[in-house]
Amino acid sequence: MLQSIQETLNSIWGVFLNIRINDIVDIIILYFLIYNGIKLIRETRAQQLTKGIAVLLGSYAVAYLFNLNTMRFLLKLCFQWGFLALIILFQPELRRMLEKVGRTKIAELSFLNPQDATSDEMKWSGAIEAICDAAQNLSSSKTGALIICERKTKLGEQIATGTVLNCTPSVAVFGNIFYPNTPLHDGAVIVRDGIILAAGCFLPRPQKDELINKQLGSRHRAAIGMSENSDALVIVVSEETGAISVAENGELTRGYTKESLKKLLTSSLITDKESSSGKEKSLAGRVFSRWKK
């Protein structure tokens, strides 16, 4: 007994002695992928799917242990065709997962195609003023509104469902769009690079619709769904209370004023771009200097 324990400990110690730097890096990368994979599937249909796969693997182990040939054959068929079936059934979840991966800091390094932070400020400064003034006016009159400020994720699919306007934002334009019983008042307005690109756009439903507060209306739910599928900032004005809310990354925050909304939009649409542009230029400079050496 003691000899077997000692042999086991020696074999474990031998494994540690043979670990190299690339093995440590390999383990860290695997840990990172597993950890973020669990975060992505948590509280979605994929979580139940993972439990189902675990049950199938356990069933196959039992069938193999007790030599249940029929069960092993059926389970093998499930595993052979199951991967293709999963791709078809869980296409929306896989798409959202890949979109989230594409919005990570590593994927956002775009120093090969740098953007001018000054031009971004010029584009958005006037639009932010118009959005905040319009939100305040719509809030005081309790007129429902849904305004999307596009960032890195392009919203071409949603734009295709609406009416292309391509006009400069102003209080009057927002007031006309969201005036009750007009053709475009029920949809969302999408603002790209400080320009109203389209209005009357339809938005996707949220992933966890059943978990959202029942008091929230269709506009707030659409805002949460849009923020789950993109990195956009979605401003909502409630038709019942006139409250101003903002949805970002699947979370809805409420109780904004004109000043707090302006501060949020400025920090998200201008300040973040300036800081990221500076980092990308610095990284590009380091890469170029190393290449010269």
| 110 occurs within a structural domain | no
- How many angstroms separate the Cα of 40 from the Cα of each of 37, 99, 101, 177? 5, 11, 10, 37
| 234 occurs within a structural domain | yes
Write the pLDDT tens digit of every residue in 113-143. 455 545 667 789 899 999 999 999 999 999 9
Do residue 38 and residue 127 come from a single domain? Answer: no
Per the structure, the count of domains in the chain is: 2
Do residue 64 and residue 135 come from a single domain? Answer: no
| 289 occurs within a structural domain | no
Q: Which of 102, 126, 153 is the last residue of a domain?
A: 102
| 112 occurs within a structural domain | no
Do residue 146 and residue 235 come from a single domain? Answer: yes
Do residue 139 and residue 15 come from a single domain? Answer: no
Do residue 86 and residue 166 come from a single domain? Answer: no
| 29 occurs within a structural domain | yes
Do residue 96 and residue 133 come from a single domain? Answer: no
Q: Whole domain around residue 97: which residue ranges?
A: 2-102
| 111 occurs within a structural domain | no
| 230 occurs within a structural domain | yes
What secondary structure does DSSP assign to the chain, as a single string?
Answer: -HHHHHHHHHHHHHHHHT--HHHHHHHHHHHHHHHHHHHHHTTSHHHHHHHHHHHHHHHHHHHHHTT-HHHHHHHHHHHHHHHHHHHHHTHHHHHHHHHHHHTSTTTT--TTS---HHHHHHHHHHHHHHHHHHHHHHHHTT--EEEEE--SS--HHHHHTSEEEEE---HHHHHHHTSTTSTTTTSEEEEETTEEEEEEE--PPPTTGGGS-TTS-HHHHHHHHHHHHSS-EEEEE-TTT--EEEEETTEEEEEE-HHHHHHHHHIIIIIHHHHHHHHHHHHHHHHHHHHH-
- What is the pTM for the complete model shown? 0.62
Do residue 229 and residue 145 come from a single domain? Answer: yes
Model confidence at 149: pLDDT above 60: yes
User: How many residues appear in the chain?
Assistant: 293
Write the pLDDT tens digit of every residue in 212-241. 777 788 899 999 989 988 889 999 999 999
pLDDT score, position 80: 78
Do residue 125 and residue 260 come from a single domain? Answer: yes
Do residue 93 and residue 132 come from a single domain? Answer: no
Q: What is the mean pLDDT of residues 199-207?
A: 88
pLDDT score, position 209: 65
Range with the lowest mean pLDDT among 19-28, 130-139, 207-216?
207-216
Do residue 174 and residue 231 come from a single domain? Answer: yes
Do residue 58 and residue 130 come from a single domain? Answer: no
In 3D space, the residue among 163, 130, 156 whose CA is nearest the CA of residue 269 turns out to be 130
pLDDT score, position 73: 86
Do residue 139 and residue 50 come from a single domain? Answer: no
pLDDT score, position 245: 95
Range with the lowest mean pLDDT among 28-32, 48-52, 186-190?
48-52
